[in-house]
Structure 1
């Protein structure tokens, strides 16, 4: 859902201007135990979490299709939810096994590279292959200051791999989990600007203004994420605002 929360306005504007847009999802939400508890029925363990990930991927396809992203630009890598930082540190060469899905390799047929091992080296190769395929001029990536461990790791991954491809200056950074109580106020408040996250302090933020029609389409896309709206709707809807915020630099790490 992060591409819609933080980047839906930019995606729409790029496409309307005749540009190309692609979205790459590093993980597929297969550690979302709370969603299964809310759905009810037997927990089912690893199998049900993989089924949830398949559902999440379908929701992501619907959301980005509503923004105008073509099928060729909807790219899933299928790496382990809540495990990306482990891949980039102590599992660079040895496969990591997800404690949620029991998988040690990409288990999803819809992924770009099914069966690739859960290692940092494999993730970096796959991400590099996406860059070669897409050849982006603008990259919107999670900030290493985000409090979600997968977001921080994805930001660090983006910095490392884009640097090797000479694209480091093309990154603009967004934050989803930006500090206690943010975004504030919670809930749907169209037409109201998004305030800066506490964890973006010290960073110069570019403000991207959304037109009312872009804001409406962003909400329409966000409503595709049914599984998550059932658990964190006030948080997610708080990103449907009249602006989106991006930092040119990642900034120094915060605790």
Structure 2
């Protein structure tokens, strides 16, 4: 019995053509009933907890704002230096702490710049904060001020990247909040795309809650990347299929943003720029290249 269940699960998750066609038939009807989101000449700020989130959630939205005469900024809260498996693989070490994790952060920032260039975002509209990957929630909740948080992977307690907004800033919630306010003051966004506080990743939830505290509700739209229950299904590249709301986003008022074939192609090219992540997570990342992206005016 258990073997049968595992085999069926494997088929559904990997979704060969017959299962994918059934999936597409069911969810195309469901997603097409959602209200359609339109974007005009916005001053768009995309909040990305890690390098690659900006492409997973919002590559289509970024393209559409730029095509319609708007401006786009991308703000990365961390440099992705806490992905232990990735650092171990790239540096060929079983102890990816210190230098190995910092070098991963530098690499992922370079990949993020390449992805943004492929989407048409100007280099001077890319902002890195350099706060600790997998540590944002701790900064805001347990280290609001005073003694800084220390990353167990990079082994530092301050922003270590020279090209960040505030190099050397201590890992405290006060520093993070101050830098975020500086960016909001500089950009003056009319629309902010932020991770939902329902997202399964703690860094995503922390950024979503911070956005709710610092940005007027009418300017916010939320997205989910870590949606629970193996979402999105099927894994792999299926650009002809719709992206349905994530299980963790059940009950939220989702809006769909349709993407053209050309926009889907550019989204895939942006994801491929995150080469370090594609080595380990290609099928998960490709599963976001769909007919649409999804955003909600409510985060939770």
Q: Which range is displaced more, 34-43 or 151-160?
A: 34-43
Question: Which residue number corresponds to residue 7 of structure 2?
Answer: none
TM-score of the superposition, structure 1-length normalised?
Answer: 0.95
In structure 2, the residue matched to 1:143 is 196
2-structure distance, mates of 1:185, 1:44: 32
Say which of 239, 247, 252 aligns to 1:198. Answer: 247
Give 2:154's match in structure 1, choosing from 95, 101, 114: 101
Which SS does the other structure have where 1:21 is aligned? Answer: strand
Correspondence for 1:16 = 67
Kept in 1, the 8 Å contact 2:256–2:295? The answer is: yes
Partner of 1:170: 219
TM-score normalised by structure 2 residue count: 0.81
1:219 to 249, 264, 268: 268
1:54 corresponds to 2:103: no
1:237-252 → structure 2 map (5 Å cutoff): 237-251=286-300
**Cα offset, 1:72, TM superposition:** 1.3
- Report whether the alignment pairs 1:45 with 2:94: no
CA RMSD of aligned residues (A): 1.0
Residue 73 of structure 1 is matched in structure 2 by 125
Shift of 1:218: 0.5
1:78-97 residue pairs with structure 2 within 5 A?
78-94=130-146, 95-97=148-150
Secondary structure at the aligned position of 2:130 is classed as strand
Match of 1:229 among 270, 278, 283: 278
**Unaligned stretches of 5+ residues in structure 2:** 1-51
Rg larger for: 2
Unaligned runs of 5+ in 1: none
d(CA) in 2 for partners of 1:89 and 1:39? 32
Q: Is contact 2:237–2:289 with CA below 8 Å preserved after alignment?
A: yes
Q: What's the CA shift for 1:192?
A: 1.1
State the distance in 2 between where 1:128 and 1:119 align: 14
Give the Cα–Cα distance (whole angstroms) in 1 for the partners of residues 92 and 132 of structure 2: 24
Query: Structure 2: how far apart are the matches of 1:208 and 1:34?
Result: 33
How far apart are residue 184 of structure 1 and its match?
Answer: 0.5
- State the distance in 2 between where 1:206 and 1:77 align: 29
Runs of 4+, deviation exceeding 3 Å:
none
Aligned to 1:182: 231
Whole-angstrom CA distance in 2 between matches of 1:174 and 1:238: 15
Distance 1:121 1:44 in 2: 28
Cα deviation for residue 38 of structure 1 reads 2.4
2:197 and 2:274 mapped to 1: Cα distance? Answer: 24
